[in-house]
A and B are shown apart, each in its own frame.
Chain A
Amino acid sequence: MPAVSKGDGMRGLAVFISDIRNCKSKEAEIKRINKELANIRSKFKGDKALDGYSKKKYVCKLLFIFLLGHDIDFGHMEAVNLLSSNKYTEKQIGYLFISVLVNSNSELIRLINNAIKNDLSSRNPTFMCLALHCIANVGSREMAEAFASEIPRILVAGDTMDSVKQSAALCLLRLYKTSPDLVLMGEWTSRVVHLLNDQHMGVVTAAISLITCLSQKNPDEFKTCVSLAVSRLSRIVSSASTDLQDYTYYFVPAPWLSCKLLRLLQCYPPPEDGAVKGRLVECLETILNKAQEPPKSKKVQHSNAKNAILFEAISLIIHYDSEPNLLVRACNQLGQFLQHRETNLRYLALESMCTLASSEFSHEAVKTHIETVINALKTERDVSVRQRAADLLYAMCDRSNAKQIVAEMLSYLETADYSIREEMVLKVAILAEKYAVDYSWYVDTILNLIRIAGDYVSEEVWYRVIQIVINRDDVQGYAAKTVFEALQAPACHENMVKVGGYILGEFGNLIAGDPRSSPLVQFNLLHSKFHLCSVPTRALLLSAYIKFINLFPETKATIQEVLRCDSQIRNSDVELQQRAVEYLKLSSIASTDVLATVLEEMPPFPERESSILAKLKKKKGPGAVSVTELEDSKRESGELNGAGERGPDPSVMAASNASTPSPSADLLGIRSAAPVSNAPASAGSLLVDVFSEAGPAASSGAVNDDGFLRFVCKNNGVLFENQLLQIGIKSEYRQNLGRMYLFYGNKTSVQFASFTTTVSCPGELQSHILGIVEPLVEGGAQIQQVLNIECLTDFSDAPLLNIKFRYGGALQNLTLKLPVTINKFFQPTEMASQDFFQRWKQLSQPQQEAQKIFKANHSMDTEVIKAKLLGLGMALLDNVDPNPENYVCAGVIQTKSQQVGCLLRLEPNAQAQMYRLTLRCSKDSVSKRLCELLAQQF
């Protein structure tokens, strides 16, 4: 046994630990542990009272066993007994056990709280600290309830020892983080701020963490801390490297405290008081100057501590974003680090520059480092550094360098690590679209993406290129020519075939004049890829073929022959077979006119959220482990009927019905659109219009609305999933009408029987189900249902979808909230700044406004926010708000009975990670509802 015990060792424990270490197998270990557990149990239960030492030893053994990963279900009472011991080590082990193995047994908690209370009032600083540590380590709500009012008192009491003050400050911080509502501001708050002046550096270091957190939540109450922090910082920065004695770390004076002070200042705007500001700028300059001085030590700890302060100072400079001189100096300093031999510094410099790139003062200065960053992308050995370089290139990209950056990212993609390819592809696709001056460059870029990294090009990316080609007629001919050429390659990626099939099917006629790409040549080229493709791609190609028949009557015979052959018309895949049969029939019976109407060129897509941006935003944290993501998505999918949610609340519905229509419907100056009659069954030519009026509300008790909020700003995706069933939706909206495609997928290998669905709508909506659902859903099959929706007047409650089926005899009953929200019926409205504010003022009645201040739940990245606002359906107005950080939007909600004008303003505060959202609408209930919906999206 190694002689490593320190202090007064527990020999029995040491023997036990070394026994465990000597176990040759897991089985032996478990056997030894069980033996020990039995022994401890019998000791605890024995008649003989145990002395403190034995109790401590056994509790410690239990702790060790627990930390090895075994469950412990006894010993809590003995540990609690140790708390009241007056021997320090016994108490300490007792507290450690309680902190690690908290148990929610209420009797036990009462005893623990009692012991803590005794120690807190013992006036013995060591005991008080132990008790405070225990509260902080457990940090539960019960602890907060018991002690949240006591701790502030200890913190500011005049006679409290410094070490206790330190613990009390951080303990209070922990409680504030778990239960902010229980920590009440009061007279103590002003005294806490003055701890910044405390003589004891340890007290300042601990207190400042608390002050920073409190300032973020209550900035006004704590704003006096700014000048105190500046003077404290200034004293530290100007002190000699040995002045602070033990608080000097490798010749750097108080690095932790300095960083915390700089971090605290980032909760506030630049100081208004000129003298304070001058002093602060001086500090920042001194910190920047020190970076140029020769190091006082060769130890890495010295340079780390020094640079930690430097990076924190740079963060503050970026946060202020108002001192061009400092910003440029910061940028130059980071530029030096980009070439530093320490990998850590290169990494941090790349990361920090990403934020600098978004400041208008330093954007140009950041751009001068483009060559170095590109070089980093090519030569860094460490993938996490390369990842940062790619992020920075993305951040520094603008119209002037987009072509270079996109080209570099494309060439990096050829060798990029698999873990970051998908994200790179998305970024390239976004940049190419955002900065495309001519769309032929955009098309080239995306096709290159598919060529280089086809496997990582997600649906969103190739959907997007098709949307853009369809919406811009100036690029259609070029796109057709380019895909035609790309398809010549003997092996091309399936995504290329998809894009090629779609584009040639729509625009193949634009290049058909050239004999080298005559209709038949085009068709043969596409068909040569057909047999290598998956089912969805083949389905897409079949649609391209029928489009060919319309575009080029001369190909009709050839294509009909292809459709007629057994491998198509008798294909074992239902979808392919159906397409082949229907297209063949269509081409033989329909007249040219009918064919031309049915197979008309696709209409332009409505400009909505770029699906790629949404996808990028979803990819949280680059380098995330894919296994983990998988598990996450599994966990998200709830159990059948899992979520308990009550049905529509009648009182709310009544309230929204009762609200009087506002007379200012024409507020946005939009001429009222012609009233639209009932849902036109434009898909009716193919689908049987089985009108099934929404039945009485299917009240199955639990309504699942897990997926609901995820669809406020988007229209497509998976709404629900459990082990049996997956429900996907696709929806589109025009004016006051919507159409929703529901896809029910049977995930099991067993048939679902008696499958029925019903939709019940609140009175303000009307829905029609088009098409009957087959009562049988085969294992592995997916069925589709179409729902037409009409918005009669504004509404708050979503329609409910009830699904019933039998799975292996058991009846499954499921009710989901369909994501039909009032914002789906938005028409975007563009307007100039002046008009916006004029209308804003007109909507000044207090009920017309709804406002919410809330904490950011997602990334505060500008592009992500923009994508969401666009997805919301309003027009995002540039150059309207005087503060460029803010977003303003305008739109009109179209309902059958009236139009509702809406204005939105979203003010992010990146520092505090908060938003303020304001809505003004011509109808009160709409402001309220939109505000509720949106507050949960950012």
Chain B
Amino acid sequence: VQYFLLGKLRLQKWFVPTSDRERKKVIRDMIMLVLPRQPRTCNFLRWKDLKIVYKRYASLYFCAGLEEQDNELLALEVLHRYVELLDKYFGNVCELDIIFNFEKAYFILDEFLMGGEVLETSKFAVNVSMEQADTLQEACTSLPRSLWCV
């Protein structure tokens, strides 16, 4: 049971054109590469000509694929900032929040990253824009274990 959950993909976002087949392959390879890694090993890997940066938060692995010139440490903080944004929005975010509010998780990601580049680093600004959206509206849901590729 544990194994099935681990492999479950909760959110994916692709910033370069990628065919379905390739996506499936990348996801499978990431799961094979990242999940078996021991705790406290380093958060960076090489895979093909990409740099992979991942971090585990509770039961969720957040993972990003970087190009050669991207900065690994900063990417690690991109993952962290995203978790913080989710946390601030949902208040103590958990996997279920992401399952049931999957569209919100996508919206928050959109407010933070665009085309794989950081759009807004200020937590305040992102939240203002999310709150504004909420007051304008009436909707919602939830979601899970994340993996996305820059």
Residues of chain A with a CB closer than 8 A to B77's CB: 249, 255, 301, 304-305, 308
* Binary interface encoding of chain A residues 12-25 relative to chain B, with 1 for a CB under 8 A from any of its CBs, else 0: 01100110010000
Which residues of chain B are within 8 angstroms of A809 by Cβ–Cβ distance? none
Whether A53 contacts B138 by the Cβ 8 Å rule is yes
> Given A256-B74, A346-B42, are A202 and B122 neighbors across the interface (CB < 8 Å)?
yes
Interface positions of A from 132 to 155, Cβ below 8 Å from B: 133, 136-137, 139
Chain B 131-144, CB-CB to A under 8 Å as 1, else 0, gives 01110111111100
Contacting A625 at CB < 8 Å: which of B32, B69, B90, B129?
Answer: B32
Q: Say if the beta carbon of A311 comes within 8 Å of chain B.
A: yes
Task: From the candidates B44, B107, B124, name the one contacting A344 in the complex (CB within 8 A).
Answer: B44
| Interface presence of B59 (CB below 8 A) | no
Question: Contacts A126-B136, A166-B119, A259-B74: A6 and B90 contacting too (C-beta < 8 A)?
Answer: yes
| A87, B115: Cβ atoms closer than 8 Å | no
Instruction: Choose one: B45, B71, B138; the contact of A89 (CB below 8 Å).
Output: B138
Q: Decide: A622 and B46 in contact? CB cutoff 8 A.
A: yes
The answer to whether B45 and A384 touch across the interface, beta carbons within 8 angstroms, is: yes
Q: A806: which B residues are within 8 A, CB to CB? A: none
Which one of A4, A178, A384 contacts B142 once the chains associate, using CB atoms below 8 Å? A4
> For residues 29 through 54 of chain B, which have their beta carbon under 8 Å from a beta carbon of chain A?
29, 32-33, 38, 40-50
Which residues between 81 and 98 of chain B lie within 8 Å of chain A, taking CB atoms? Answer: 81, 89-90, 96-97
A contact patch SS: helix
Q: Looking at the assembled complex, report how far the CB atom of B69 sits from the nearest CB atom of chain A, in whole angstroms.
A: 7
Question: Which of A10, A173, A304, A385 meets B139, CB within 8 Å?
Answer: A10
A301 surroundings in chain B (CB, below 8 A)? 77, 80
Interface: B58 (CB within 8 A): no
Whether A8 contacts B114 in the complex (CB less than 8 A), given A202-B121, A247-B122, A623-B46, comes out as no
Give the residues from 356 to 401 in chain A that come closer than 8 angstroms, CB to CB, to chain B.
381-382, 384-385, 387
State how many angstroms separate the Cβ of B106 from the closest Cβ of chain A.
Answer: 6
B142 touches A348 (CB 8 A): no
Chain A residues, Cβ within 8 Å of B99: 17, 21
Which of B25, B40, B129, B138 interacts with A163 by CB under 8 Å? B129
Contact A133 B114 (CB under 8 A): yes
Knowing A173-B117, A346-B42 are in contact, say whether A14-B139 is a contact too (CB < 8 A).
no
Inter-subunit contact B122/A246 (CB<8 Å):
yes
Instruction: Tell me, in angstroms, the Cα distance from A6 to B101 when the chains sit together.
Output: 8
With A7-B134, A7-B137, A166-B119 in contact, do A384 and B71 touch (Cβ < 8 Å)?
no
Chain A's nearest CB lies how many Å from the CB of B126?
10
Q: Are B117 and A625 in contact (CB under 8 A)?
A: no
Per-residue CB proximity of B5-26 to A under 8 Å, as 1/0? Answer: 0000000000111000000010
Q: Is A442 an interface residue (CB 8 A)?
A: no
Given A136-B114, A255-B74: A5 and B42 within 8 A (CB)? Answer: no
Interface string of A153-177 (1 = CB under 8 A from B): 0000000000100110011011001
**In the complex, how many angstroms separate the beta carbon of A245 from the nearest chain B beta carbon?**
8
Contact A4 B73 (CB under 8 A): no
Assuming A5-B100, A163-B129, is B71 touching A311 (CB within 8 A)?
Answer: yes
Q: Taking each of B29, B104, B142, which has the highest tally of chain A beta carbons within 10 Å of its own beta carbon?
A: B142
Partner of B140, one of A8, A167, A384, A625: A8
Residue of A nearest to B100 (CB): A4
Number of chain B residues whose Cβ lies closer than 8 Å to a Cβ of chain A: 63
Report yes or no: B17 in contact with A17, Cβ–Cβ below 8 A.
no
What residues of chain B lie closer than 8 Å to A171, measured between beta carbons? 114-115
- Find chain A residues with CB under 8 A from B134 CB: 6-7
Closest CB of chain A to B62's CB: distance in Å?
Answer: 14
Q: Give the distance to chain A from B59, nearest Cβ to Cβ, in Å.
A: 15
State which of A60-68, A487-495, A536-544, A772-780 sits at the interface with chain B: A60-68
Cβ–Cβ contact B47 & A67, under 8 A: no
| Minimum CB–CB distance for A155 against chain B, Å | 13
Nearest chain B CB to A127 CB, angstrom units:
10
- A837 at interface (Cβ–Cβ under 8 A)? no
Expressed in whole angstroms, the Cα–Cα distance for A129 and B130 within the complex equals 12
On whether the beta carbons of B120 and A305 are closer than 8 Å, the reply is no
The total of chain A residues at the interface (CB under 8 A) is: 81
**Contact (Cβ within 8 A) B42 A167:** no
- Is A546 an interface residue, CB under 8 A from the partner? no
Q: Give the distance to chain A from B142, nearest Cβ to Cβ, in Å.
A: 5
Taken together as a complex, chains A and B put the C-alpha atoms of A129 and B73 apart, in Å, by: 29
A205 within 8 A of B: yes
Minimum C-beta distance from A57 to chain B (A) = 8
Q: How far is B139's CA from A305's CA once the two chains are assembled, in angstroms?
A: 36
Complex CA–CA separation, A53 to B149 (angstroms) = 32
Among B48, B100, B142, the most chain A Cβ lie within 10 Å of the Cβ of B100
Could you say which of B29, B99, B141 has the most chain A C-beta atoms within 10 Å of its C-beta?
Answer: B141
Are A8 and B119 in touch, CB under 8 angstroms? no
A93: CB under 8 A from chain B? yes
Residues of A within 8 Å of B25, CB to CB, are: 628, 631
The answer to whether A384 and B137 have CB atoms under 8 Å apart is no
Contact A167 B48 (CB under 8 A): no
User: B16 — nearest CB in chain A belongs to which residue?
Assistant: A177
Cα of A88 to Cα of B38 in the assembled complex, Å: 44
Q: How far is the CB of B119 from chain A (nearest CB, A)?
A: 6
Q: Is A307 an interface residue (CB 8 A)?
A: yes
A206 pairs with B138, CB closer than 8 A: no
Docked CA distance A43–B135 (Å)? 28
Contact between B49 and A620 (Cβ–Cβ < 8 Å)?
A: yes
Determine whether the beta carbon of A259 is less than 8 Å from that of B71: yes
Task: Kindly state whether residue A201 has any CB partner on chain B within 8 Å.
Answer: yes
Q: Which residues of A contact B136 (CB under 8 A)?
A: 87-89, 126
Question: Are A93 and B103 touching (Cβ within 8 A)?
Answer: yes
Min CB distance, A302 to chain B, in Å? 10
A6→B122 contact, CB < 8 A: no
A208 to chain B, nearest CB (A): 9
A808 sits at the interface (CB 8 A): no
Within 8 Å CB of B29, what residues of A? 625, 628
User: Complex: how many Å from CA A247 to CA B133?
Assistant: 22
Please give, as numbers and ranges, the residues of chain B lying within 8 Å of A631 by CB-CB distance: 25
| Assembled-state Cα–Cα distance A96/B140 (Å) | 13
Please, which residues of chain A bring their CB within 8 A of the CB of B15?
174
Q: Are B89 and A6 in contact, CB atoms less than 8 angstroms apart?
A: yes
The answer to whether B73 and A624 have CB atoms under 8 Å apart is no
* Contact call A201/B141, Cβ cutoff below 8 A: no
Q: Which residue of B lies closest to A303 (CB)?
A: B73
CA distance A18 to B101 in the complex (A): 12
Contact B120 A202 (CB under 8 A): yes
Q: Does B60 touch A at the CB level, under 8 Å?
A: no
What is the CA–CA distance of A554 and B41 in the complex, to the nearest angstrom?
A: 63
Q: Any chain B CB within 8 A of the CB of A92?
A: yes
In whole Å, how far is B114's beta carbon from the nearest beta carbon of chain A?
A: 4
Task: Tell me whether B148 is interfacial, beta carbon within 8 Å.
Answer: no
Given the complex of chains A and B, what is the CA–CA distance between A460 and B82 in angstroms?
A: 47
- Determine the chain B residues whose CB is within 8 A of the CB of A137 once the complex forms: 110
Task: Chain A residues near B125: list those with CB within 8 A.
Answer: 163, 202, 246
A178-208 with Cβ < 8 A to chain B: 178, 201-202, 205-206
Contact B100 A93 (CB under 8 A): no
Asked if A527 is at the interface of the complex by the 8 Å CB criterion, the answer is: no
Residues of B within 8 A of A622 (CB): 46
- Other 14 A-B pairs with CB < 8 A, given A6-B140, A205-B118: A4-B97, A5-B141, A8-B137, A13-B141, A17-B99, A60-B141, A89-B138, A96-B103, A96-B106, A170-B119, A206-B120, A255-B77, A384-B42, A623-B45
User: Nearest 5 CB-CB pairs, A to B?
Assistant: A8-B138, A89-B137, A88-B136, A174-B115, A308-B73
Can you list 16 A-B pairs, Cβ within 8 angstroms, ordered by A?
A: A4-B96, A18-B100, A88-B136, A89-B136, A96-B107, A201-B121, A205-B118, A206-B117, A257-B121, A308-B77, A312-B74, A344-B76, A621-B50, A623-B46, A623-B47, A631-B25
B residues sitting closer than 8 Å to A (CB atoms) are 15-17, 25, 29, 32-33, 38, 40-50, 69, 71-74, 76-77, 80-81, 89-90, 96-97, 99-104, 106-107, 110, 114-115, 117-125, 129, 132-134, 136-142
